């Protein structure tokens, strides 16, 4: 069933305003889990426009949000017990920060929604509470100029909103700061794993097929044996780059994500060689010592997009420096691995 | 937890003290506490923390701040270089300057 979170509608100037509650139900939570796992990620949107949370009146606060259901659900559940209006912008189902960076959570869209919902006729005050991370797209002074509403930037995390309201709409410095704590990194990991998995699978199949080659012809038994070993090693590189890198981020040395990922790769290298040392030639050991850390480095570098503190200039700088090394290293490692197939 | 810091001395953020009126908006919108008020003017306290999100530039109506804003996302940079317009993360950008 659709739109389970809408519990009622009220009429305002002939238009239906959906009424929502603070309570998240099973389908809201189940939906959130699916999004985190990368299933149906693009369809997790709600209709833009005005919503009534609880029983707001003309003195109630107006909160601005995105039509990404996770942002919207997080906002309404954190406002527990507070009657308010929520003005949802059409961000094409993208969260506030990303949409603000793109400009869809922006000044023009906000001005448009204020007009369309006839907000000025609905509330007596002239103040909007916009999440601070929306400031990348919303210019407070331009909203004021066009709509008459002044923008107050609320805290970064919706969980701080009750305290922000109690404080007389003042956010403490800590409420203004974006951090990147363990739990935030952990919820992003499944997405990292899902995103790269199809490429990993292709590489694994590739290694399976080539694993049977040798100077005496092709052997399927060797292909399977080599293939299994290779896939375990590739999976561990994948694990270190996409799981260990993000999770251990603050403790891995270096500032570049590429370097952090490299060290994450070093962590798994010795673990694997303990088990495989016997059957591996020196060449193969060298080959995997190149492939694992550098693949891991590349994967962790890709976590910059999900992180909350990397700048474009910085990302470009580290890519210019490390992408050539990653490519040469992984290809070099692969060539050594192939050579090893033929000199055995 | 200590704050994670990205690369040193790379952020393109600049502040023109001549234009600053001391309205404090930049200290409110910045998610990394880059600015600080000193003698009724904003100053850049922590350049290395700047992630070039552009919130300060957009919200400083006196145009005292400039930054080459963008999203620090490797996948988007790769997509941009390959000339694609879709990326796994939410951001897509034109790459003005290559290596
Ligand atoms: S927003 Fe602009 S004018 Fe206001 S304090 Fe910051 S730099 Fe100065
Ligand atoms: S660009 Fe963003 S992170 Fe950098 S100073 Fe401005 S608001 Fe802060």
- pLDDT by position in tens, chain A (length 344): 356 788 889 988 788 899 999 988 877 887 787 777 766 655 588 999 999 999 999 999 999 999 999 899 999 999 999 999 999 999 998 889 889 988 899 999 999 999 999 999 999 999 999 999 999 999 999 999 999 999 999 999 999 999 999 999 999 999 999 999 999 999 999 988 988 899 999 999 999 999 888 888 888 888 888 888 899 999 999 999 999 999 999 999 999 999 999 999 999 998 777 666 667 888 888 999 999 999 999 999 999 999 999 999 999 999 999 999 999 999 999 999 999 888 87
- For testing the chain B interface, which of A142, A245, A311, A322 should be mutated: the one with the most B CBs within 10 Å? A311
**Which ligand is nearest the CA of A100, by number?**
2
Measured distance CA(A29)–CA(A202) in Å, rounded: 33
The distance of B35 to chain A (nearest Cα, Å) reads 11
pLDDT at A307: 92
Partners of A12 in the beta sheet?
A15
pLDDT at B91 over 60: no
Ordered structural domains, chain B, with CATH: 14-98 (3.30.70.20)
CB contact under 8 A, A313 and B11: yes
CB contact under 8 A, A314 and B32: no
Give A265-272 contacts, CB < 8 A, sequence gap 24+. Answer: A265/A237, A265/A240, A265/A241, A265/A292, A265/A293, A265/A294, A265/A295, A265/A296, A265/A297, A266/A293, A267/A240, A268/A236, A268/A237, A268/A239, A268/A240, A268/A244, A268/A292, A268/A296, A269/A293, A271/A236, A272/A232, A272/A233, A272/A236
**Which ligand is nearest the CA of B17, by number?**
1
Residues of B with Cβ-Cβ distance to A312 under 8 angstroms? 52, 68-73, 77, 93
pLDDT at B2: 57
Measured distance CA(B81)–CA(A186) in Å, rounded: 29
pLDDT at A24: 87
Farthest-apart Cα atoms in chain A, separation: 86
Per-residue pLDDT tens digits for B39-53: 999 999 999 999 999
pLDDT at A63: 97
Residues with CB under 6 A from ligand 2: B 13, 29-32, 34, 50-56, 67
Residues of A with Cβ-Cβ distance to B51 under 8 angstroms? 308-311
Residue B55 contacts A where some CB pair is shorter than 8 Å: yes
CB contact under 8 A, B8 and A95: no
Name the pTM for this structure: 0.87
Task: Tell how far the Cα of A140 is from the centroid of ligand 1, in angstroms.
Answer: 13
- Residue to probe by mutation, ligand 2, list B33, B53, B68, most atoms within 8 Å of CB: B53
**Which ligand is nearest the CA of A135, by number?**
2
CB contact under 8 A, A312 and B52: yes
Output the average pLDDT for chain B. Answer: 86
CA closest to B78 among chain A residues: A319
pLDDT at B95: 52
Confidence of residue B1 (pLDDT cuts 50, 70, 90): very low
Ordered structural domains, chain A, with CATH: 6-176 (3.40.50.11600), 182-343 (no CATH)
What residues have CB less than 8 Å from B89, skipping those under 6 apart? Answer: A98, A305, A306, B71, B73, B75, B76
pLDDT at A216: 84
CB contact under 8 A, B7 and A180: no
User: Nearest by CB to A136, which of B6, B8, B58?
Assistant: B58
Q: How many CB pairs under 8 A join A and B?
A: 149
């Amino acid at each position: 069933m659709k739109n389970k979170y809408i519990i009622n509608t009220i009429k305002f100037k002939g238009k239906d305003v959906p009424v929502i509650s603070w309570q998240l139900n099973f389908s809201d939570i189940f939906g959130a889990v699916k999004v985190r796992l990368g299933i149906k990620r693009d369809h997790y949107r709600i209709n833009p426009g005005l919503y009534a949370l609880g029983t707001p009146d003309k003195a109630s606060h107006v909160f601005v949000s995105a039509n990404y259901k996770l942002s919207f659900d997080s906002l309404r559940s954190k406002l527990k017990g507070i009657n308010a209006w929520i003005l949802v912008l059409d961000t094409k189902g993208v969260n506030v920060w990303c949409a603000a960076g793109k400009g869809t959570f922006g000044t023009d869209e906000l001005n448009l929604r204020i007009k369309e919902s006839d907000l000025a006729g609905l509330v007596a005050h002239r103040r909007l509470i916009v999440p601070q991370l929306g400031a990348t797209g919303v210019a407070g002074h331009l909203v004021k100029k066009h709509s008459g509403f002044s923008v107050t930037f609320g805290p970064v995390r919706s969980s701080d909103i009750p305290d922000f309201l109690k404080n007389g709409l003042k956010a403490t410095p800590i409420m203004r700061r974006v951090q990147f704590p363990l739990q935030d990194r952990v919820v992003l990991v499944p997405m990292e794993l899902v995103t790269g998995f199809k490429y990993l699978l292709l590489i694994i199949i590739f290694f399976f097929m080539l694993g049977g080659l040798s100077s005496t012809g092709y052997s399927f038994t060797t292909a399977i044996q080599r293939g299994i070993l290779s896939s375990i090693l590739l999976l561990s590189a994948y694990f270190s780059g996409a799981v260990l890198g993000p999770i251990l981020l603050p403790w891995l040395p270096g500032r570049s994500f590429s370097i952090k990922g490299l060290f994450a790769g070093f962590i798994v290298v010795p673990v694997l060689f303990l088990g495989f040392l016997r059957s591996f030639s020196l060449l193969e050991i060298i080959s995997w010592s190149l492939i694992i850390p550098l693949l891991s480095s590349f994967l962790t570098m890709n976590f910059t997009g999900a992180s909350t503190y990397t700048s474009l200039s910085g990302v470009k700088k580290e890519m210019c420096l490390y992408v050539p090394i990653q490519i040469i290293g992984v290809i070099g490692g692969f060539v050594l691995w192939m050579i090893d197939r033929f000199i055995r | 937890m200590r704050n994670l810091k990205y690369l040193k001395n790379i952020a393109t953020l600049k502040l023109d003290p001549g234009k600053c009126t001391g309205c404090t908006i930049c200290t409110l919108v910045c998610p990394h506490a880059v600015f600080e008020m000193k003698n009724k003017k904003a100053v850049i306290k922590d350049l290395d923390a700047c992630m070039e999100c552009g919130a300060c530039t957009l919200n400083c109506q006196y145009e005292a701040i400039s930054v080459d804003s963008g999203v620090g996302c490797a996948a988007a940079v790769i997509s941009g270089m390959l000339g694609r317009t879709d990326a796994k993360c939410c951001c897509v950008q034109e790459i003005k300057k290559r290596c």
